[in-house]
A and B are shown apart, each in its own frame.
Chain A
């Protein structure tokens, strides 16, 4: 319990510092500090005790993590850009969770994550512009449409294995982007504007003010995306800590053996693939409204790879790792303005380094515990 809480507190302070500083030398210094600190902690076995305390008192620490996020948001209450970054992290984390169900648990490769994210965003763009569907309802609709379009791929996804399965989604990712570019109905390469979110007449795109403190309009989006993340997180948690999670693992590790013990492989692949796409589309719809703009270039194959790399960086199958990895992938390139030109290069090199020297990711997935805090 204590190590986890301490780690969270430190992380919060660090995140605030990193988001606050602008001067490049300081940013670089902070990043270097983080790397050294993590490596050191790992050496001294501190990381292990942290992850242990997370495994034992996850619910309490989860609540603390939410609190920490709100502290960060409060600190930057009037800073549009930082809040936009934070919101982006939260939404990407949801998408990563969805992808994690597919790749991390069920072993169903999906290299079109960004496409399903985009389907959600475009759904939001179209529905907000042409229908009166309440925006809170538009979000799940985005998820449903993504799942629906995903189901077109079910047959090939179910029939193929391994690399053959990879090509199905890769082909879809390219198909999807080209389709958006050449068809005018959805704005072509120019993309579409997305109306901001409006909940019960309260437009999230208006700045607010409490007394004489004025608040960035992104705070509203922060609350919504935070709620979405918590929901997705709990769902995934329960999924893993149930017979379903076990089924998915068994299927990923050995389809044949799982089949010999009664597992209906097709059924669980469908469930995992559909559920994953739903979460991704759900997140995409919200992201569309936050960004206020959708264009094919946001949803390229490269972006799909970015999502997959988040899984890998965080530690496949570990939601906490995903959260950390998402933060790194989204925020670090933004902060390192001096290396703007080189950001993709450095980022790619980082992923390669992780794959070579820490393939299990930053926070490796722990053994399954079916009931939190349960002991034999």
Chain B
């Protein structure tokens, strides 16, 4: 069967520094891929390249049969890839609902005439979106579902993560890129969050996930395949137990030459 996302020979340089070095990587539909490696090994850079924030010097990215190399972020999103950010990038002054709707962009009618003049039709679309957002949030935290129109600013880290993931999931993407979802949370919180994600995934089967994570516990638990990066190069690939046992990998993490 063919891969959902396939990257070949990706190379990205910042000035002299090589962030990605001829990286090959593939994700099957409905697979969960763990992307691990020491700090600065190029994990987040890979996400930024895939989502089109950075261009690449060399290499090809194909997604769902079409090439998206160096495509602008909006195009990547419309193709069916959405992401979360390492440092939470919610719009704090806006409400929970607003933030989730930002992720729903492609399923909302963006026409000027529709938005300004056809208020009745708009009301219907709004109510539908509200139901969608509400049911999604309920999966993660019923308590939040009651407070959809309150500002995000007041919420604790864990809730912000939940909302960020809801924002990424509301448009029902084919591929979800999770950038260190555990950052700034306790083990318990992280575990809870992972369960929620798996639950959502159970709801719509064909959702593939690439997760960047330092919490090896998380990786071990939810991924069925792992890719290990070091200095932008892929140094190991396979199920977690296998790569964890790999000598190169251990050196990379322990920093032994």
Residues A260 and B93 in contact, CB atoms below 8 Å apart: no
Is B42 close to A, CB under 8 A? no
Contact of A262 among B106, B112, B149 (CB under 8 A): B106
Is B185 close to A, CB under 8 A? no
Q: Which residues of B contact A376 (CB under 8 A)?
A: 130, 134, 148-149
Q: Mark B170-181, 1 if CB is under 8 A from A, else 0.
A: 010000000000
Q: Mark B227-255, 1 if CB is under 8 A from A, else 0.
A: 00000000000000000000000000000
Taking CB as reference atom, which chain B residue is nearest A254?
Answer: B89
Q: Which residues of A contact B77 (CB under 8 A)?
A: 260-262
Is B34 close to A, CB under 8 A? no
Contact size class for A? 20 to 34
Interface residues of A in 252-276 (CB under 8 A from B): 253-254, 256-264, 271
Is A371 close to B, CB under 8 A? yes
Q: How far apart sit A254 and B171, CA to CA, in the bound complex (Å)? A: 19
Q: How far apart sit A312 and B76, CA to CA, in the bound complex (Å)? A: 37
Is A368 close to B, CB under 8 A? yes
CB B127 to nearest CB in A, in angstroms, measures 8
Max count, chain A CB within 10 A of own CB: residue among B74, B94, B134, B149:
B74
Interface residues of B in 29-74 (CB under 8 A from A): 51, 53, 72-74
Is B82 close to A, CB under 8 A? yes
Q: Which residues of A contact B73 (CB under 8 A)?
A: 256, 259-260, 262
Q: How far apart sit A254 and B91, CA to CA, in the bound complex (Å)? A: 7
Residues A238 and B102 in contact, CB atoms below 8 Å apart: no
| Known contacts A242-B115, A242-B116, A259-B72: A253-B106 contact under CB 8 Å | no
CB A242 to nearest CB in B, in angstroms, measures 4
Is B223 close to A, CB under 8 A? no
Q: Which residues of B contact A179 (CB under 8 A)?
A: none
Is A367 close to B, CB under 8 A? yes
Is B196 close to A, CB under 8 A? no
Q: Mark B86-121, 1 if CB is under 8 A from A, else 0.
A: 000101111100100111011011101001100100
Taking CB as reference atom, which chain A residue is nearest B53?
Answer: A256
CB B120 to nearest CB in A, in angstroms, measures 10
Taking CB as reference atom, which chain A residue is nearest B82?
Answer: A261
Contact of B116 among A235, A247, A254, A256 (CB under 8 A): A235
CB A316 to nearest CB in B, in angstroms, measures 11
Q: How far apart sit A256 and B134, CA to CA, in the bound complex (Å)? A: 26
CB B145 to nearest CB in A, in angstroms, measures 9
Interface residues of A in 343-367 (CB under 8 A from B): 367
CB B185 to nearest CB in A, in angstroms, measures 20
Residues A263 and B105 in contact, CB atoms below 8 Å apart: yes
Chain A contact residues: helix, strand, loop or mixed: helix
Q: Which residues of B contact A239 (CB under 8 A)?
A: 115-116
Residues B126 and A246 in contact, CB atoms below 8 Å apart: no
Is A250 close to B, CB under 8 A? yes
Taking CB as reference atom, which chain A residue is nearest B47?
Answer: A260
Q: Which residues of A contact B76 (CB under 8 A)?
A: 260
Q: How far apart sit A177 and B219, CA to CA, in the bound complex (Å)? A: 63
Q: How far apart sit A361 and B103, CA to CA, in the bound complex (Å)? A: 30
| Known contacts A243-B109, A254-B91: A261-B102 contact under CB 8 Å | yes
| Known contacts A244-B110, A246-B102: A261-B116 contact under CB 8 Å | no
CB A263 to nearest CB in B, in angstroms, measures 6
Q: Mark B144-157, 1 if CB is under 8 A from A, else 0.
A: 00001111000000
- CB-CB nearest 4 A-B residue pairs: A242-B115, A262-B105, A259-B73, A253-B91
Using a CB–CB cutoff of 8 Å, the interface residues on chain B facing chain A are 51, 53, 72-74, 76-78, 82-83, 85, 89, 91-95, 98, 101-103, 105-106, 108-110, 112, 115-116, 119, 122-123, 126, 130, 134, 148-151, 167, 171
New contact pairs (16) apart from A244-B112, A370-B123, A376-B130, CB-CB < 8 Å: A238-B116, A242-B122, A244-B115, A249-B93, A250-B98, A260-B82, A261-B77, A261-B82, A262-B73, A262-B78, A263-B102, A264-B74, A271-B112, A367-B149, A370-B122, A376-B149
A-B CB contact pairs (8 Å), 5 listed? A243-B108, A246-B98, A253-B93, A259-B74, A263-B105
